[in-house]
Amino acid sequence: MMTKPDFQAAIAALTAKFAASLPEKRQILIDQAERWKSARDPAALREAVAQAHKLAGSAGSYGFDPLGLAAREFEQCVRSWPDHIPPDSRAAEQSDGLLEALIQLFP
């Protein structure tokens, strides 16, 4: 059976591993945001949403609650559109803002 100190050490190690992965996750989002903003490439938006979905599910578990909440907000915004494509320029600008806010929350 795992002792409390062993459990806490295991959680700390997992949290450190997750934190170490954040720069790569951030860069993926930056790259997809640039592709989306410059060419309105739907594949870039889908990839950004996929990354946001993963963050929304995991960030809060490791103590990065604001990051997880921002990821969920961006994901839900885009998933609310038919075919996950913004219906107009206002919606596209909204997704741009949410994605930028998400990127800024990375440590």
Rounded to an integer, what distance in angstroms lies between the CA atom of residue 84 and that of residue 75?
10
Which stretch of DSSP H or E encloses residue 99?
helix 89-104
Range 2-31 average pLDDT: 95
Residue 40: closest CA among 77, 84, 71: 84
Query: What is the model's pLDDT at position 83?
Result: 85
What's the CATH architecture for 22-104? Answer: Up-down Bundle (1.20)
pTM: 0.91
Q: What residues does each domain of the chain span?
A: 22-104
Question: What proportion of the chain, given as a percentage, has pLDDT over 90?
Answer: 90
pLDDT tier at 38 (50, 70, 90 boundaries)? very high
Which candidate, 6, 5, 13, 15, places its Cα nearest to that of 65?
15
Among all chains, which residue has been given the structure tokens 């591993």?
17
CA distances in angstroms from 46 to 30, 43, 74, listed in the order given: 13, 5, 12
